[in-house]
């Protein structure tokens, strides 16, 4: 059976938005962690907002590491109640029960990654389908953020590993408690 890993970046106060102020995608430790996660993945699981954002960004990207080419080639599965029809960018719309669909995907793929912590992540946590949570916690406080880490109920996690970077970013790996 495959694994599902949720990965996201946030500030110390839990903000996901206003990334232009705090997110540096050239930070060496972030690049290393991203490479490990993406090059080790067999499939990507996205919610609608992440899909729409990444679909606009990633197909036009190139890099010397092969990261963009690998990410673009991965099969992607999109959980949405508003999207319809066939999707582009090597993506398939999940129809029906998301938890059941992800259970089937875990039987087909060794390592599935999901980016962000929105409704999809909360659904996966509620269904007991998350094996690890990777959080990049950046040393900024946004204060007036609208997009914050949310969950419908408390979620207990246990720390698997933590590393820090010279910039002060903390990379933490958790598993459900």
At residue 176, the pLDDT reads 93
Q: How many residues does the chain have?
A: 177
List, in sequence order, the alpha helices (H) in 59-155. 67-73, 98-108, 119-126
Q: pLDDT tens per residue, the chain (177 residues)?
A: 999 999 999 999 888 877 888 888 888 899 999 999 999 999 999 999 999 999 999 999 999 999 999 999 999 999 999 999 899 999 999 999 999 999 999 999 999 999 988 889 989 999 999 999 999 999 999 887 676 666 777 889 999 999 999 999 999 999 999
Q: How far apart are CA 102 and CA 94, in angstroms?
A: 9
Q: How far apart are CA 172 and CA 177, in angstroms?
A: 15
At residue 153, the pLDDT reads 78
At residue 149, the pLDDT reads 66
Q: How far apart are CA 29 and CA 165, in angstroms?
A: 6
| All domains of the chain in start order, with CATH | 3-45+98-176 (3.40.430.10)
Angstrom CA distances, 144 to 18, 23, 141, stand at: 10, 16, 9
Contact 33, 171 (CB under 8 A): yes
Q: How far apart are CA 28 and CA 165, in angstroms?
A: 8
């Amino acid at each position: 059976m495959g694994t599902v890993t949720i990965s996201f970046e946030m500030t110390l106060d839990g903000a996901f938005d206003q990334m232009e102020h705090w997110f540096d995608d050239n930070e060496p430790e972030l690049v290393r962690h991203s490479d490990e996660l993406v090059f080790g993945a067999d499939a990507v699981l996205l919610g609608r907002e992440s899909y729409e954002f990444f679909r606009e960004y990633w197909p036009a990207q190139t890099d010397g590491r092969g990261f963009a080419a690998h990410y673009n080639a991965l099969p992607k599965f999109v959980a949405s109640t508003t999207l319809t029809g066939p999707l582009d960018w090597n993506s398939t719309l999940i129809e029906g029960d998301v938890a059941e669909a992800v259970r089937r995907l875990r039987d087909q793929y060794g390592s599935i990654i999901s980016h962000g912590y929105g409704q999809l992540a909360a659904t996966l946590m509620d269904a007991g389908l998350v094996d690890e949570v990777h959080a990049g916690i950046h040393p900024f406080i946004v204060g007036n953020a609208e997009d914050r880490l949310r969950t419908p109920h408390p979620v207990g996690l246990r720390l698997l590993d933590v590393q820090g970077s010279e910039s002060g970013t903390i990379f933490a790996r958790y598993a459900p408690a």
